[in-house]
Structure 1
Amino acid sequence: MAEISKTADQALTVLLKVGENGPMTPAELARTLGMNRTVVHRLLSTLHQRGFVTRQEDGYVPGAILVRIAERVQPELRASGRTAMLELAGAVGETAVMHIADGLDAVVLEQVVPDRNIVRVEHEIGSRHPLHEGASGRALLAFLGQSAIDRVARGIDAPDALARQLETVRQLGYALSHDELQQGVHGLAVPVLDAPGHAVASIALLAPTTRASALPTHLDALLAASAGLSRLLYGRS
């Protein structure tokens, strides 16, 4: 493994924890992360001066500069994906979410949460989970190529079962999940493919258990949204 900067790693650890649980005070961060309080103060001071965190009365929260940085992540895919998901979520009334692959994880790039229902599902932009878990992750992994699948398989207990799952996803063109990442949440996901047929993202519809039986009826709309993105961005027919 390549050598890393301990200080930079500590600063990023603090920033991630503020993003997950903020607002947080320096004392709370030091206690939660098991770090020296003086070190945490120094790291927060640096992050604050650079705009990565903002200080409020009840602690530190993520800074506005992170929004500008986030907008630079896959801007064309994100913008086009949001347009497609607005139409999709508006038509079916369920949350639409887009994931991209980052190493061994699936990361939320964009989402649209319609307000048609009182009970609805919501992710956080930038949240992540392992590629082999959840419909969104498997819809991505199945079309990432064998080398990516091999890397994931080396880190799990049941690689043969995963291989069978991914083959089913490739045959059907979609992935399903229920109660995997969140209890009471069901997912239906499809890949967004580039011209050679590799996944660049996945789009999923998420619904609570009470409306899960209707998810399969939205498959055609989900596939149409994915195909439209593939044509628009990558010229895939």
Structure 2
Amino acid sequence: MRWAAPGSFGLDLVQLTRPVLRDLRDQTGETACLYVRGGGFRTVVALAETRHVVMRLFMVGMVMVLHAGSAGKVFMAYDPAARQAAVSQGLTRLTPRTTVGIDLLDKQLEEVRDLGYAASFEERDSGAASISAPVFGMSGELVAVLGIGAPTQRLGPTDVGRLAPAVQAAAERASHQLGFRPALKDG
């Protein structure tokens, strides 16, 4: 409700990024999602669904943990409060590939910061993969995460080099739409 309320930042966030999500979907062929964080969870607030018959299912309002999946890893990598919230609620194993060790998680988050994106394979659901990147607001704070999700038949580790730049570029466009200007933050 908060994200759909007229005049709220959430509605602006969704409206301003909707064209970016559609472009990312069209460019990659996969479902593009926008997430916001609440505590130790992330919620899909907007999406542009793939046109493939076989798809990874996402719905607006879908809530997921932070420690499993690329979008959650981006939240934790760029927001220490997100990491703390995820760790304090417990790193539960959802699949055999879910990260549940704090040292490994911290190493993964460092890699996400170094790369500027996260990719995950079967961490939250078997047969599912995703690539996500940060979306920054006007003053440089992390306000959302944008990413794509797909079945592992179409998105595997060998596809990351081809698709991650598109996800990063879309997240940068979304950040720009929200008023983020990296030169202003650095200067």
Q: Same fold (TM over 0.5)?
A: yes
Which residue identity is paired with 2:76?
L
2:165 is the counterpart of 1:220 = yes
Shift of 1:70: 5.1
* Matched residue, 2:108: 165
Q: Is the 8 A contact 2:75 2:83 kept in 1?
A: no
Describe the shift of the 1:210–1:148 C-alpha distance in structure 2 as closer, same or farther (beyond 3 A): closer
Describe the shift of the 1:196–1:162 C-alpha distance in structure 2 as closer, same or farther (beyond 3 A): farther
- CA distances 1:13-61 after superposition (whole Å, capped 9, x unpaired): xxxxxxxxxxxxxxxxxxxxxxxxxxxxxxxxxxxxxxxxxxxxxxxxx
Report the secondary structure of 2:32's partner residue.
strand
2:88 is the counterpart of 1:154 = yes
Aligned match for 1:87, one of 11, 20, 23 = 23
2:127 is the counterpart of 1:184 = yes
Describe the shift of the 1:155–1:70 C-alpha distance in structure 2 as closer, same or farther (beyond 3 A): closer
Number of aligned residue pairs: give it: 168
Q: Name the CA distance, whole Å, in 1 between partners of 2:81 and 2:18.
A: 29
Shift of 1:196: 4.5
Q: Determine which structure has greater relative contact order: mean sequence separation of CA pairs < 8 Å that are 6+ residues apart, divided by chain length.
A: 2
Unaligned runs of 5+ in 2: 92-100, 183-187
Aligned match for 2:144, one of 192, 196, 201 = 201
Q: Is the 8 A contact 2:138 2:178 kept in 1?
A: no
* Matched residue, 1:6: none
Give TM-score, length-normalised by structure 2. 0.81
Shift of 1:71: 2.1
Worse-matched range after superposition: 191-200 or 170-179 = 191-200
Q: Is the 8 A contact 2:119 2:160 kept in 1?
A: no
2:75 is the counterpart of 1:140 = yes
Unaligned runs of 5+ in 1: 1-65
Which residue identity is paired with 2:167?
L
- CA distances 1:66-102 after superposition (whole Å, capped 9, x unpaired): 6xx6522601111122110101101211110111101
Report the secondary structure of 1:71's partner residue.
coil
**Per residue, is there more helix in 1 or in 2?**
1
- CA distances 1:204-233 after superposition (whole Å, capped 9, x unpaired): 111211111334312221111111111121
Worse-matched range after superposition: 102-111 or 70-79 = 70-79
Work out the percentage of aligned pairs sharing the same amino acid.
27
Describe the shift of the 1:127–1:194 C-alpha distance in structure 2 as closer, same or farther (beyond 3 A): same
Query: What is the alpha-carbon root mean square deviation over aligned residues?
Result: 1.9
Q: Is the 8 A contact 2:140 2:180 kept in 1?
A: no
* Matched residue, 1:230: 175
Which structure has the bigger radius of gyration?
A: 1
2:13 is the counterpart of 1:108 = no
Give TM-score, length-normalised by structure 1. 0.65
Shift of 1:178: 1.2
Q: Name the CA distance, whole Å, in 2 between partners of 1:70 and 1:110.
A: 10
Report the secondary structure of 1:133's partner residue.
coil
2:13 is the counterpart of 1:77 = yes
